[in-house]
Structure formats: C-alpha cells, structure tokens
Amino acid sequence: MSGSGRAATSSGVLSFGLTPVFLTSDLELLDGLKNYLEAATARSVRLVLRRTYQEITSLLISNQLAAAWICGYPFVVNRTALDLVAVPLRRGRPLYQSYLITEQDRTGSDIAALKGDVHAFSDPDSNSGFLVTRTLLAEMSVRPETFFSRTFFTYGHRNVVRAVASGLAQSGSVDGYVYDVMAELEPDLTGATRIMRRSEWLGFPPIAAPKNPVDPAGVAALKDALLRMKDDPRGRSILAMLRLDGFSAEPPALFDTIAVKAAYVALAG
C-alpha cells in the first residue's frame, strides 16, 4: 500500500488490513468479505494483506488503515495507540487457545518434552504462534534459542502445521482456531500432527483501529457492519466460511491475560 493510504481513508475508501491470523487468502472469501463490507458501510473497501503482523500493525498505527484484523499481542503492546473495534465469536465466545503441536507419533504432554526440537513459530508478534510458548519458557528461565535446537518463523499458522506434518519441524506453536478449522478442511494434514498442549482461553484476535482515526465515521460504519454480520444473509455466508458465529463488542480487559504475558516476557528479556 502506498503513502496514499491516509488520503484514501479520508476520501471515503475504507482500507481494512488482514494479517496471517486471517484463516485463508481464498479469493471467494476475500471477494465476499469486500462485497459485504461495501454494501453494509455504503463505502468502497480496500482489503490490504501483508505477510507479517508488524507490517499491518505499522500501517494501522500510522493511520494508513482504517482498521485491521490483528492479534492480541500487538494490540496490547500498542494499546495506547489503538482502539478495540470488534472481536470474533467462535462457538459463542470471544476466546481461543494456543496449541503446541508435535509430530503425530510423539509422546509427552509438557513443553519440557520438546527440549532440543526444531520448533516452528508463526510470527514474532503472534500471541498463539509465539508469545504463549515464549512465556512458558520464560517461566522455566530459558529462552527459545537455548531450549530448542533451532527455531524458525513460518509467517502463517497453516504453515506451522505444514512444517510439523512434513517433518520440517518436530514441534510448533499455532493458533488453535486455525488448527481446528484445518482439521475440518484438511484432516490428512492435521492428522500427521498431535496437539500436545492447549493454553488457557485467551482473547480472540481482534479488529482494531487507530485511537485517532482519519475517518471516525468510517470506523463506526465498519464496526456496525461487523456487529450486524450475523444478521445478514451475505454476512452469514462469510462467517460460515470463516467458521465463526459473528463479531461482538468487548472491553479491552478481555486481553489483560495476554498483556500480562507480554509484560512477563519483556521483563525476562
């Protein structure tokens, strides 16, 4: 996206960012989402996809995006610059888990069993794909680079599953929502892996907007469109593809548990 993002947002075009937390880049889904948001907000919508959380978060806090579907980790780190717009609902709750996965035939139920592994993370700014595991290790007074034999970032939760299933990694940290949907759509792939550990329930990756948006009315229209999505036939079609129930307005305190983890890791260094 060029530097015209600010002008585009203020001229009636809503730029909506999507990170790798978004389940898929399927064209039918992206087209459907764009068409629904345009009809529901009565504005032109530009979907902006980037490979990393950092790229989208940087565009968001610099007001080059009206809003973005990010992750709880960058949300709490940038809480003074961001407002919460809406949170997805899955199985009726705005919550999800992080999974530690291994090769299918591995035993063990504790992270200590993964010592010496080649481990796949999703993104350094991902809660489920990095922070949760990093916190577990910090509580053991160890760091990923000393606990694992090697680590790498796949920049996509689906890619973490692929890495473990193919043997490229022996274990991985992944978004439980993405993993569960993959288990429905690609059971042969997830069947080559095993969920070794599930985290506590955490705030689902949210939709966030700049604290001082260029176009407050546009952000309000986007929020309304998301909250009403479950009541619209086109919206329900998108939600069905995403395996979500809808979006809800939630308090920022939903992400306090993630904020505690971020602060703990920052203190551990």
- Assess whether 82 and 102 both reside in one domain: no
- Assess whether 120 and 85 both reside in one domain: no
Is residue 265 situated within a structural domain?
Answer: no
Distance CA 99, CA 107 (A): 15
Q: What is the CATH number of the domain that holds 182?
A: 3.40.190.10
pLDDT digits (tens, 9 = 90+) for 114-128: 999 999 999 999 999
- Assess whether 24 and 85 both reside in one domain: yes
Closest CA to 21 of 131, 163, 177, 169: 177
- Assess whether 104 and 174 both reside in one domain: yes
248 to each of 112, 205, 207, how far by Cα in Å? 37, 12, 10
- Assess whether 70 and 128 both reside in one domain: no
Give the pLDDT of residue 29: 87
pLDDT bin (cut points 50, 70, 90) of residue 109 is confident
Whether residue 9 is predicted with pLDDT greater than 60 in this model: the reply is no
Is residue 261 situated within a structural domain?
Answer: no
- Assess whether 219 and 180 both reside in one domain: no
- Assess whether 166 and 38 both reside in one domain: no
Give the pLDDT of residue 108: 85
- Assess whether 71 and 15 both reside in one domain: yes
- Assess whether 194 and 104 both reside in one domain: yes
What global pTM score does this model have? 0.92
**Total domains present in the chain:** 2
Is residue 268 situated within a structural domain?
Answer: no
pLDDT bin (cut points 50, 70, 90) of residue 12 is confident
15 to each of 9, 38, 70, 114, 262, how far by Cα in Å? 6, 11, 14, 41, 28
Whether residue 258 is predicted with pLDDT greater than 60 in this model: the reply is yes
pLDDT digits (tens, 9 = 90+) for 53-103: 999 999 999 999 999 999 999 999 999 999 999 999 999 999 999 999 999
Task: Give the range of the structural domain holding residue 36, as residue numbers without chain letter.
Answer: 5-94+203-253
- Assess whether 120 and 62 both reside in one domain: no
